[in-house]
């Protein structure tokens, strides 16, 4: 079978690669900061009367050498920057490398002037040029920009690392039952079908299904659920959760990349690397912005040197300051860091957001459509009546049980549980078929067996009068063999503990709420009234759910669809944003943009709240970046120099630029502090 270790090994490699990359940057930073401090000692030594060599040319030669080493350390800036320039797609690296190189080139020019002045002993010229060397500026630009990037990398690593502890929750070894033997086995050697023994206090090593016993599982790290959940035979367990009480045996069902834990981490990483529409706009602005800045820098030099009559060094200082201060780092970071932090925050609370675009959709949605069973209700239906109306088939219990066991619809699972409790024997049925929105079909001894809704019975031509349920909110499932009605089952569902509270909160936030159900009008309207949803549609087939979503979208309305079943998949795909309840069918989860790992609908409220917060944070970051450049570029260009004497040298400009990038990162990190609504505390039974 697929080894459990494959995904973990792959993830560990990526984690190791990330750490190596971070350590590499750290080493570069330590060396370059040390060299910069030595460089600053030589460049500022005369000012503070520090011990230096007698000849200025020797001091300047050391400065040039130190700057050159720093430039070699950060050679990537020059490589990427000039590649962008030559391909006519200048980048942030283009501005940094140009600023640093111009400062260095001018430093060499001043250095030559000092050497020539020393030969003739002209102290005035030596003094003049000695204080107009910009070696330290060229080095400082690279070091400060890299420091900003290092701090960004640390922030990103911190966000990504917030999920890494999940792997440590699952033990490395498991007790496997083989016949009458109990063998300790490494998790990486487990295979699908292995039986694992779990005692109180044990961590669940891998995903599986309980085949014997029960337990109370603490899943807070994976789903955000604060209290343990009761799990019995037939229930699924997730690797990484902890058994607080009870003893059970479970069968391994998923390994490696197919486990819930692996999918959570993959989703977070994919969402973090995806791009939102706002990020694409920022990228387009950056692509236009860089050439404009280079143009402004050249124009600044021309105006100050040829029109303003300033010295060449003064004109160069203004031009280089423009290049450095206007680095579009803040603009480029505004969206991705916020998306990364928001995705991590969601994952920590059981809200898996699959793409960056989902955040924008969440912030704009005004209409929310709900499925009924398993979404507003618990999906744990209880049979309150089961009647056999034809004595023709003695094994009718086994026919129903053996057909329903092949379906994963909530109704089917409740029916299966009923017959399992009654110790009903299984028999062989063939050609099982799912009839979305209607029920199921199978073949028994050459005869067609239909189990499903009133509509299905009418469709296949059942002549008998169909019975009505005893309760308004009950659901009736009919059983027919051929065209003959043989039995009916009446089930009732319970409303999830916090559905009413969640609906109330959503109405307060002015969302239009719609219930779309395949159930009958009586059951659908009764539930809508109980939970407080004013608009509902009953007897809606799966393909009609999709049509209904399209109808709700008329006029440009953005619609979110919330569901959990196979028949919700088309509607989830069609909605502007599909939200799946994580306890539902895999196909629904695959079709959705967001997965709520916990069945609580308060997580829907939290997802919408988080979406608005992230988009607000992105817009705030973009605003900061815009204002920073609107003020910074004119200041660096010397617009306020003549009137107020305000000017920036390249060192200060690079420092301000780094602070602007850091401000954006720190603002995005504030999303970690976002307060989410508390869920009702309940042990799921």
Question: Catalytic amino acids?
Answer: 371
DSSP state at residue 467: P
* C-alpha separations of 69 from 33, 72, 95, 391, 658 in Å: 12, 5, 20, 94, 21
Nearest to 257 by CA among 249, 247, 265, 245: 265
Nearest to 326 by CA among 631, 6, 643: 631
- Please, are residues 358 and 595 in contact by the beta-carbon 8 Å criterion? no
Show the DSSP H helices in 53-192 as ranges: 56-73, 75-86, 92-120, 123-130, 135-161, 165-169
Longest dimension (CA), the chain: 122
- Please, are residues 81 and 91 in contact by the beta-carbon 8 Å criterion? yes
Q: What DSSP assignment string belongs to 154-194?
A: HHHHHHHHTTTHHHHHS-SEEEEEETTEEEEEEGGG--TT-
The rounded radius of gyration (Å) of the Cα atoms in the chain is 34
Query: Hey, is 53 helix, strand or coil?
Result: coil
DSSP state at residue 397: H
Q: What angle do CA 133, 139, 143 make, to 5 degrees?
A: 150
Q: Partners of 559 in the beta sheet?
A: 367
Query: Hey, is 422 helix, strand or coil?
Result: coil
- Please, are residues 267 and 222 in contact by the beta-carbon 8 Å criterion? no
51-62 in b/e form (b: 16+ CB < 10 A) is eeeeebbebbbb
Nearest to 506 by CA among 624, 639, 634, 606: 606
- Please, are residues 100 and 67 in contact by the beta-carbon 8 Å criterion? no
How far the first Cα of the chain sits from its last, in Å, is 33
* Burial of 279 per CB tally in 10 Å (0-12, 13-18, 19+): buried
Q: How many CA atoms lie within 13 A of 154 on its CB side?
A: 12
Nearest to 595 by CA among 614, 582, 608: 582
Q: What is the pairing mode between strands 577-581 and 439-444?
A: unpaired
Determine the Cα–Cα distance for residues 166 and 207; give it in Å rounded to an integer: 14
What is the four-CA torsion angle of 535, 541, 546, 547, rounded to 10 degrees? -70
Q: What is the pairing mode between strands 439-444 and 430-435?
A: antiparallel
Determine the Cα–Cα distance for residues 355 and 201; give it in Å rounded to an integer: 36
For 55, residues 6+ apart whose C-beta sits below 8 A from its C-beta are 118
88-112 in b/e form (b: 16+ CB < 10 A) is eebbbbbbbbbbbbbbbebbebbbe
């Amino acid at each position: 079978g697929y080894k459990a270790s494959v995904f973990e090994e792959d993830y560990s490699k990526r984690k190791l690669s990330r750490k190596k990359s971070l350590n590499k940057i750290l080493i570069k930073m330590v060396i370059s900061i040390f060299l910069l401090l030595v460089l600053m000692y030589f460049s500022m030594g005369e000012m503070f009367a520090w011990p230096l060599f007698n000849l200025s040319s020797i001091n300047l030669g050391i400065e040039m050498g130190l700057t050159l080493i720093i430039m070699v350390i950060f050679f990537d800036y020059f490589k990427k920057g000039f590649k962008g320039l030559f391909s006519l797609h200048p980048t942030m690296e283009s501005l940094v490398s140009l600023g640093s190189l111009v400062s260095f080139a001018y430093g060499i020019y001043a250095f030559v002037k000092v050497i020539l002045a020393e030969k003739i002993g002209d102290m005035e010229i030596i003094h003049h040029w000695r204080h107009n060397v910009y070696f330290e500026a060229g080095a400082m630009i690279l070091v400060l920009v890299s420091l900003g990037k290092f701090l960004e990398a640390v922030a990103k690593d911190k966000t990504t690392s917030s999920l890494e502890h999940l792997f440590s929750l699952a033990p490395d070894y498991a007790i496997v039952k083989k016949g009458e033997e109990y063998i300790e086995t490494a998790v990486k050697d487990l295979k699908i079908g292995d039986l694992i023994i779990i005692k109180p206090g044990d961590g669940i090593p891998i995903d599986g299904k309980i085949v014997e016993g029960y337990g109370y599982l603490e899943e807070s790290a994976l789903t955000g659920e604060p209290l343990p959940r009761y799990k019995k035979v037939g229930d699924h367990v997730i690797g990484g959760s902890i058994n607080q009480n009870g003893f059970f045996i479970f069968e391994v069902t998923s390994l490696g990349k197919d486990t819930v834990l692996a999918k959570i981490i993959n989703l977070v990483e994919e969402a973090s690397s995806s791009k939102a529409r706002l990020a694409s706009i920022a990228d387009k602005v950056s692509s236009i912005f860089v050439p404009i800045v280079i143009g402004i820098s050249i124009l600044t030099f021309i105006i100050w040197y040829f029109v303003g009559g300033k010295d060449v060094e003064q004109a160069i200082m203004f031009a280089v300051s423009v290049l450095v201060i206007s680095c579009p780092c803040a603009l480029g970071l505004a969206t991705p860091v916020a998306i990364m932090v928001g995705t991590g925050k969601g994952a920590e609370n059981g809200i898996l957001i699959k793409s960056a675009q989902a955040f924008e959709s969440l912030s704009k949605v005004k209409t929310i459509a709900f499925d009924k069973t398993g979404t507003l209700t618990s999906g744990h239906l209880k049979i309150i009546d089961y009647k056999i109306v034809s004595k023709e088939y003695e094994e009718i219990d086994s026919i129903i049980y053996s057909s329903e066991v092949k379906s994963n619809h909530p109704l089917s699972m409740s029916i299966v549980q009923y017959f399992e409790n009654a110790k009903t024997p299984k028999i062989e049925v063939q050609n099982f078929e799912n009839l979305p929105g209607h029920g199921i079909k199978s073949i028994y001894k050459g005869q067609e067996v239909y189990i499903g809704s009133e509509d299905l019975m009418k469709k296949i031509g059942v002549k008998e009068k169909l019975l009505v349920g005893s309760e308004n909110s009950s659901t009736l499932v009919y059983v027919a063999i051929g065209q003959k009605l043989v039995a009916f089952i009446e089930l009732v569902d319970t409303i999830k503990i916090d559905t009413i509270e969640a609906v109330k909160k959503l109405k307060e936030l002015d969302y239009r709420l719609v219930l779309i159900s395949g159930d009958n009008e009586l059951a659908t309207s009764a539930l809508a009234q109980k939970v407080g949803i004013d608009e509902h549609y009953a007897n809606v087939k799966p393909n009609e759910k999709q049509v209904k979503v399209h109808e709700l979208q008329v006029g440009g309305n953005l619609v979110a669809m919330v569901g959990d079943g196979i028949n919700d998949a088309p509607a989830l795909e069609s909605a502007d944003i599909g939200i799946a309840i994580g306890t539902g069918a895999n196909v629904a989860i695959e079709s959705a943009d967001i997965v709520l790992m916990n069945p609580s609908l308060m997580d829907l409220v939290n997802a919408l709240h988080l979406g608005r917060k992230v988009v607000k944070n992105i817009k705030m970051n973009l605003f900061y970046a815009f204002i920073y450049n609107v003020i910074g570029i004119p200041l660096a260009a010397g617009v306020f120099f003549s009137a107020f004497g305000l000017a920036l040298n390249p060192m200060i400009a690079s420092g301000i630029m780094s602070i602007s990038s850091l401000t954006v990162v720190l603002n995005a990190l504030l999303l970690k502090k976002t307060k989410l609504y508390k869920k009702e505390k309940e042990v799921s039974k």
